[in-house]
Each structure stands twice: as C-alpha cells, then as structure tokens.
Amino acid sequence: MLFSLRTSCIGTSTVLAITLPVWAYSQTTAIPAQQLHEIRVHGQVLTVPTEDGSSLLQRQQLQERSITNWEDFSKRGELGVHYNRQNKSVNVRGVDADRVKTRVDGVPLPWLTDGARGVQGGLNALSFESLSSIGFKGNADTVRSGAVTGSLNLSTLSPKDLLTDDKAFGALINSSYHSADYSRNLNATVAGKLSDQSRWLLHAGIRRGDQIHNYDGQGGYGPQRTLVNPLSFKENNLMLKLEHDLTVNHQLEFSGERFHYEADIQNLRDQGTGTSFLLGKNNSHETTKRERILLGYNYQSHDPTAPITSGHIKTWWQQMQLQSHQIAERNPDARGFIIPGDPLRYQFPYGNYERDNRNKETTYGVTTEWNGFIGQTHTAHNWSLGGDWYLSRTEQSSQGYDNCPPIPPGLAAPFGPRACDLLHTGQADIPRVDGNTFAIWLQDTISWNEGRYALTPGLRFDSYSYKPKNGGEYLDNPNATLSELSNNSGSRFSPSLRASFSPTEAVSMYISYAYGFKAPSPSQLYLNYGAPGTYLTVGNPSLRPETSRGLELGLDVGDKQLGGALRFFHNNYRNFIDTDYAVTPNDPNWNNAWNGQYPMGVTMAVNKSRARIYGIEASGQWQLNTNWYTQAAITWARGKDTTAGQPLNSIAPLQSRLLAGYEQTSWGAEAQLNLVAKRSRVANADDFQAPGYSTTDLSFWWKPQIVKGLHLQAGVYNLFDKKYWEALNVPTGGRNLAPVDYYSEPGRAFRLALTYSY
C-alpha cells in the first residue's frame, strides 16, 4: 500500500499545520507490512516506512514548517499533539506527562518531576535543529513499550543526511529570529568522509532569548501583575557522530550529545506588597542538562524481502538533571509584631532565603530491533522482534537557607501556622531509587491477495522493579520514619491486533486494538513532603501500573490531487494515577503512623479505577492546479474520569485548521486559519473555561536561483493581534495561581529564518 502526501515549502507558518496523516493515494504492493507513505516535497520524493495511523515528518519538512520546538510541532505539525507549558510535557489525545513515550534514536527521553517543588520537565532537553525526523503514533501498540497512549520517535541527523550524491563533505547552517520571545539562534552541522568506509558528523547550536511574551497586561510587582515574569535564557547543544562500515551490510556507530539550557528569572509577581519577598530580592536560576553516549551496531540486507532485512543493537548511557535555584530576601511576618519580642516566633523567617532543588535520572541500557520477511508467493509474513532493558537511578534533593529558629514543642500558634512550620529544606523529599526495566515484543504482519488484506498480531511483555534506598539526604526528612519504603514491581503481557483492507487503489481502511502499559514513577511511589504539625504529601509504594485498551479505526481515500483521512479512537484506562488524593484515617490507604501528626491534611498518590478518552481526527487536501492547493483538518476529543464522574482537564477543546497556499519553483506563500472552540467541559466549576478563538498566520518562502542551497523564510503569526488562551496552558489548581491574563498567548509575532545547505 502506497500513500502520497503533498506538502509545500513555506516558511515559518508552513504547510500542513494540519494533521500529518493527510495521505490519500493508495495501491497494492507485494510488501504491505512496509506501508510506504510517499512524501513529496518540491518535486523530491522521500520514501519512508510508516504504519497505519502513524506519520513521519522529515528534516526538510521540519525546516519548511519552522518547527524548532514542541510548541511549533503542536501548531504546525500534528494537530492531535499539544505542548503543556505548565508541566513542560507533550499531550497526545488528552494524555500527557510520562504517559506519552518519547525516544531519541531509540533511547527514552524522560519526563521528570519532583512531585512537590515544581521542578519538572525534560522533554525540551534537545535541539530540534539536530533532528532528521519525528515519527508519531496516536495509540499504544506492541512495539512502543512504556506508553498508555501515543508515542513520539525522534531521530537525530546522521552523516548520510548531509553526504548526499556521494559528496565527501556537507554542511547545513541555519539562523533565525522570533519576536514572540526575542529568540535568535545559530546552528551549524558539518559532515565528511574519513575514508570510503568511515564518516563523521558534528552539530553545534546556540540559542538566546527571553520569556514567551503573553498578551499586553499589567506590569509592576506583586500578585496582580499579569505580564509574564522577565526571563533571559541561553541554550547550547553539541553532538558528535561517527560511523564505520565493517562491510556493505554491517555498520558500527558512535554518538555523543550534550544539551545545556539555563534561564535567569526575575520573580516580580512574588515581590513587594502582598508577598513574602522584598522588591528586587527574588530571583531564580533554572537549568536543564542532558548528556548521552551511544554505541551501536546496524545490519541492512541487500534484499528488501530477505528473512532478516535489517536490525540493530544499541547500548547507551544517559543522564538528565533539572535544577531550580532561588535566591531571595524575605519580609518579616507582620504577625511577629503583635506581641512585643515575638515570643511565638511568628516573625521568622526573614532576610536571606535560598533554595536549590534538583532532580536527576541516570540510565544505562540496551535496545534492539530486528525484522524480515518469510514467504512471498501467496501469503507473506513481515516479522518484527525487539526488546529494551535498562537500569535507572533517580535522585532528588532540596538544599537551601533560612533563619528559622528552633521552635519548642507545644509552642502555641494562636495566629495560624508559622511560616517556618511550612518550610522544608536540607533534605531529600524522595529517597534514591534504583530501577530495572525490561520489555520484549514480537509482531507479525500477515498479508495476502497481493497485499490487499493484512492482519498484524503482536505481543509485548513488560516488567519493572523499583528499590528505594533509605539513606543519604533522605534521613534528614522529618517524615522518613513515618512512611514505608517498600519495593514496587510489576509485569504484564500486552497483546495487539491490527487488520487492514484496500478494496481499491484509492481506498484503504484499518482497525487496530492494543493494550498499553506504564509503570508508576519514583515520585509517585516515594514522594514524602511536609512536616509533622502541618501537612503531608506522599507517594504510594503500593501503586499499580497504569494500563490501557485502545481501539482505532482509520480510513484513507482519494489521491494526491484530492483526498482525505479519517481516524476514530477510543481508549479505556485502568489504574489511572491521581497524585493529589486527600486521605483520612477512615481511608484504606491511611498509615496509622500519621495519626495526629498532620492537622492540615494528607494527600497521596492513588490508583483511580477507570478513565475514558475518545475522539475523531479528520483531514483532507485538494490540489486545485499546478500552483494552488488547500488543506484542512479537525480534531475533537472527550475524556472523563469515570471513577469520579468528572471531565478530564487534560482534554483540549475542538480545533480545526484551514490552509490555502500558492507555490512556484522558487517561491511560495501560505495563509492558515486556526479555529478553536470554547473549553466548556472542566473538572471543577471554578476551573478556567478558555473562550474559543480564531487566529490567522501568514508565511512566505524564497529560494533565490543565483545562490544554490539558500532558503529564506518569513512568517507572521496571530496576524490580527487577537488575545486568546490555549486551554492546556492555563493551570486549574495549585498554589499562587496568577490572574488568568497572565496565561494568555502572545499577540502578533514575526519570525525570520535563513538556511544554507551545501
């Protein structure tokens, strides 16, 4: 089955800001297991293998659509994918955080959270300028272990991406500016041959900028400020790759990568009147670091239908670290002056205040995947076998300074809790946790009648174990002796089945049903935050893994001139983990050691029995003539916590995109209309219901004929400067929430990019 997708080279607001699976042309093939989506880009055909319901965005398309981060990918890439700026995670079909599996070159890219102090993220610890492709799958399936819903598979540039046409040296240089955050970057990738069998690649990039500017609002200091806090960031990325061909079929590879992001933030909302901090005395420094080393072996057969066509084995080491460092000066609490001499210790803390919160994960692992073909006469089998095994170590700590004095036991607190009672530092909120994760999977695509029919059964086995270590900084935690630190482990077989049918060359349909599996995270299991006499927020070492059962139906019709795609999905989730569940002594999850210790309440992580998400994605395209084209897409989803009977706030409202473009050999332009409905379904009555909106983006690209390899892009976004909110970027609970205008999106913004390839 062969699908064709027409895109165009537009600048910054680029093409198919519609869903990627806008393929249409189909015909039978003798190898249905490798369903090839022919992606046509300015006359160049890039043939890539993808499965039903999946998509692949290549380097040239990333460039043409000005996709340089996850937010760009959600706006001009895959319509059903969103980026949540609050928890810094990717949202796929209403599910986010670590429930979406993301890999770079087959290595898991972790999303980390400390569970209490707001140090979370990790998926943005990469440079999109170093990528060669982004693969997307909407639902869980056999070969994507560790996800209860979709997955994202990213590949970095290799020497062969630049050394086309048997060149001995190649280069790719890019620079751009974006007014939404005043960011500017410079990226350079060079590659060459050491010999006929050996190649190298070096990528280096720098990026500087400010905060993402929200819509104009109130400045100044204090809780009523609605302008985003000032921020200045710098980002550096370095990657080295070496390849050596042992023979034509066997290859060794080595890669090393280092990513470093740091930002200085002025916390103006938490300074001055109505706050605990002095004017000009509350600043933060945030850091994200990722380092990775990979060694690999790759095999590729000459025969595309050989019993073993291809395979690889990769071993790797990776370390991710998140850090938030706050330096401030506190005001003395006014309650400390009610009684002369402050005998009740209400005035403290004041003066110097510091917090250094860190979260780190170190992993060692191996991943392998092999596939091939058996039988090609009447019935063909395309088998796939793979596995993952890796060891992990998660560490968290909070260090800092405040001048809280010793508070005698039983000292009266008639004016409410003292601030010092609520401050906890010089400790680990999570013990060191050693993890062991293993998965193996087998899948076989059985096809007949020249590929018109295909059936793909699959089976995956997942196993994991976590062992907490009661020592180090965790011994300084005042709750360490009041909570259990037991091991947590689990395993499961997850089957899948996909059937496809192509009744004609212009029509293809499929149905798939798959189970998903995700282990709980160390913070969900072992978080221990709070202090006796106040409150407690804890994990739950008895948590069960989250699981899912997902159904997806798909239909592709038409051809590259006029065609479309329709997807329906329905996912049921079991043991969904809620990390903010209030427990009482009557609750079965209550620990008797907590009796009388936490008068302000206890919240913990628990498994909720059921949740459900279902929806529809549709897209289409029409090539009016040689120059003019149009595209459209729409996505709609509903989600419900069926245990509590509440809607899920992670579900984005209905949205659609309409696009019209014009292109010639050397230039082109596009107009894109984004339409988003009001968010009317929320979990709680006081959650913000983001109003609907429409925005217009324009883009232009130019390839001057006199300079081969030069590509200029320009775009303007939110052309009519409308004020709007992305529903998933507005928090719906927690402390210190800002006025809703604080979470508004940027007004009119411009982007300019210049790329040169050699």
d(CA 38, CA 31): 15
Q: Say which residues have a Cβ less than 8 Å from residue 484's Cβ, sequence separation at least 6.
A: 541, 591
Weakest mean pLDDT among 266-270, 410-414, 744-748: 410-414
- What does the pLDDT read at residue 55? 84
- Distances from the Cα of 553 to the Cαs of 32, 404, 432, 510, 620, in angstroms? 18, 60, 43, 6, 17
- What does the pLDDT read at residue 47? 31
- What does the pLDDT read at residue 94? 92
pLDDT of 430 strictly over 80: yes
> Which residue blocks in 397-512 are alpha helix, DSSP H?
none
Q: Are 526 and 431 in contact (CB under 8 A)?
A: yes
Residues listed for the chain: 758
- What does the pLDDT read at residue 54? 81
d(CA 65, CA 43): 17
- What does the pLDDT read at residue 736? 67
The mean pLDDT value for 163-169 works out to 92
The mean pLDDT value for 583-605 works out to 91
Q: Which of 223, 323, 348 is nearest to 282 (CA)?
A: 223
Strands 101-104 and 151-156: parallel
pLDDT of 12 strictly over 60: no
d(CA 108, CA 318): 9
Count the neighbouring beta carbons within 10 Å of the beta carbon of residue 9: 23
Phi-psi region at 256: left, alpha or beta (left = phi > 0; alpha = psi -120 to 50): beta
Q: Say which residues have a Cβ less than 8 Å from residue 483's Cβ, sequence separation at least 6.
A: 528, 538, 591, 593
pLDDT band, residue 677 (cuts 50/70/90): very high
Which H or E run includes 523? Answer: helix 522-526
Could you report the per-residue pLDDT of 519-556, keeping only the tens digit for each? 999 999 999 999 888 899 999 999 999 999 999 999 99
- What does the pLDDT read at residue 77? 86
What 8-state DSSP symbol labels residue 67?
Answer: -
In terms of average pLDDT, the best of 39-48, 73-82, 357-366 is: 357-366
pLDDT of 1 strictly over 70: no
The mean pLDDT value for 213-232 works out to 94
d(CA 217, CA 561): 46
pLDDT band, residue 35 (cuts 50/70/90): very low
Could you report the per-residue pLDDT of 288-345, keeping only the tens digit for each? 999 999 999 999 999 988 999 999 999 999 999 999 999 999 999 999 999 999 999 9
The domain spans of the chain are 2-757
pLDDT of 32 strictly over 80: no
Question: Is the CATH code 3.90.1150.10 the one for domain 2-757?
Answer: no
pLDDT of 394 strictly over 90: yes
The mean pLDDT value for 678-682 works out to 93
Could you report the per-residue pLDDT of 232-250, keeping only the tens digit for each? 999 999 999 999 999 999 9
Across the chain, mean pLDDT equals 89
- What does the pLDDT read at residue 188? 97
Omega within 30 of 0 (cis) for the link into 503? no
- What does the pLDDT read at residue 734? 63
